Amino acid sequence: MNTSNTIISHARNTIAEQAKAIANLENLVDEDFAEAVQTIHNSNGRVIFTGIGKSAIIATKIVATMNSTGTPAVFMHAADAIHGDLGNILTDDVVVCISKSGNTPEIKVLVPLIKSFKNTLIGITANKDSFLGTEADYVLNAFVEKEVCPNNLAPTTSTTAQLVIGDALAVCLLNLKGFSSKDFAKYHPGGALGKKLYLRVSGITSKNEKPQVTENASITEVIVEMTEKRLGTTAVTSNNKIVGIITDGDLRRMLSTGKSFDGLTAKDIMSANPKRIDNDAMAIDALEILESNGISQLLAEENGEYAGLIHIHDLMREGIL
């Protein structure tokens, strides 16, 4: 077997073994899990996640997921906790401690301190019989038969299991809260993801030129308007209500006939009843209309009147497409 095939084989085996271990977690979800979720949901405080080593890294990711889905969470490193950071824990906080073995020295020192504060302690561990497993108020079973590491030493499958348990916690809490895409947008205002959730058509049309001609405008007037506004399109309106659209394609088709356009007006070459969208609609909805109809421009209206134009290039520039 050549080197490339060996690598591919190892990679596939790694994924398959981890998938098998994760699938087994479904069988380990029990009443403790449900009680833990409800305890966090009913708490007036935050969720403090703690751990050491690779478990600490997993804890930081779960904290990020919790915060982005409406459950206030804070990371506290287990080693730092016993050297002053216990002050992070407030009266109503719920503490989630993550440890594969549940028996590390730092965990054995930390757990009794948390218990003395009277905070609810939730353990995520692969060993329910460990110190953490027996001391926690609720235990979330993250058991894995073995690490995918060939020496069964490096935390690999176990940390994946911890991560999945954390995601399950976050999703259950999200569902209990009735957390919507609008709520999600509040916590993700930046980047393409945020824009998909909060950017409205008006946020684009307000920055664009607003090409517009009347039905009786001459072809020369149409060309001048499209050239000046540099969007390759113009709306055709009557009393500021959309009646048609003219694109550069319409102009090319008119010119390709070889006939004189003297005497022609916008009404003669426009496409009547064009696709349009409300100016207050989400920009992502505009993208769906553009893609489903195979067009690159879309007219926007507000209270039944022409409000502007949105181009597919605008959506590309905003990172939505």
First CA to last CA distance, the chain: 43
Q: CA–CA separation, 218 vs 209, rounded Å?
A: 20
Instruction: Judge whether residue 39 has pLDDT over 60.
Output: yes
State how far the alpha carbon of 234 is from the alpha carbons of 34, 36, 237, 305, 308, in Å. Answer: 58, 59, 9, 15, 9
Residue pair 71/99 in contact by the 8 Å Cβ criterion? no
Element (DSSP H or E) covering residue 212: strand 212-214
Closest CA to 220 of 271, 174, 184, 266: 266
pLDDT (average), residues 4-29: 94
Q: What is the pLDDT of residues 177-190, one digit of tens each?
A: 987 766 666 666 56
State how far the alpha carbon of 161 is from the alpha carbons of 23, 34, 46, 262, in Å. Answer: 10, 18, 23, 74
Mean pLDDT of the chain: 91
Q: CA–CA separation, 160 vs 175, rounded Å?
A: 23
Is 116 exposed, middle or buried, given 0-12, 13-18 or 19+ CB atoms closer than 10 A? exposed
pTM for this prediction: 0.68
Most distant CA pair in the chain, distance: 91
CATH superfamily ID and name for 3-178: Glucose-6-phosphate isomerase like protein; domain 1 (3.40.50.10490)
In the Cβ-directed half-sphere of 83, how many Cα atoms lie within 13 Å? 5
Q: Please, where in the chain does CATH 3.40.50.10490 lie? A: 3-178
pLDDT at 98: 98
Instruction: Judge whether residue 230 has pLDDT over 60.
Output: yes
CA R_g for the chain: 30
pLDDT at 110: 95
Instruction: Judge whether residue 260 has pLDDT over 70.
Output: yes
pLDDT at 188: 61
pLDDT at 182: 67
178 C-beta neighbours (distance < 10 Å), count: 8
Q: In CATH, what is the architecture of 202-317?
A: Roll (3.10)
230 C-beta neighbours (distance < 10 Å), count: 9
Extract the tokens encoding 304: 């039944």
Q: Please, where in the chain does CATH 3.10.580.10 lie? A: 202-317
Position 256 confidence tier, pLDDT thresholds 50, 70, 90: confident
Instruction: Judge whether residue 315 has pLDDT over 90.
Output: no
Task: Kindly state the percentage of the chain with pLDDT values over 90.
Answer: 68
State how far the alpha carbon of 216 is from the alpha carbons of 51, 110, 222, 236, 267, in Å. Answer: 73, 80, 10, 9, 7
In the Cβ-directed half-sphere of 235, how many Cα atoms lie within 13 Å? 27
310-317: long-range pairs with CB below 8 Å, 24+: 310/201, 310/204, 310/205, 310/208, 310/277, 310/283, 310/286, 311/208, 311/231, 311/232, 311/233, 312/287, 314/204, 314/208, 315/204, 315/283, 315/286, 315/287, 315/290
pLDDT (average), residues 117-134: 96
Q: What is the pLDDT of residues 197-223, one digit of tens each?
A: 678 999 899 998 899 999 999 999 999
Instruction: Judge whether residue 154 has pLDDT over 60.
Output: yes
pLDDT at 195: 67
- Helix 157-177 crosses helix 31-42 at what angle (to 10 degrees)? 50
77 assigned to a ligand binding site: yes
Instruction: Judge whether residue 55 has pLDDT over 90.
Output: yes
Position 259 confidence tier, pLDDT thresholds 50, 70, 90: confident
Q: Which of 18-22, 94-98, 234-238, 252-256 has the lowest mean pLDDT?
A: 252-256
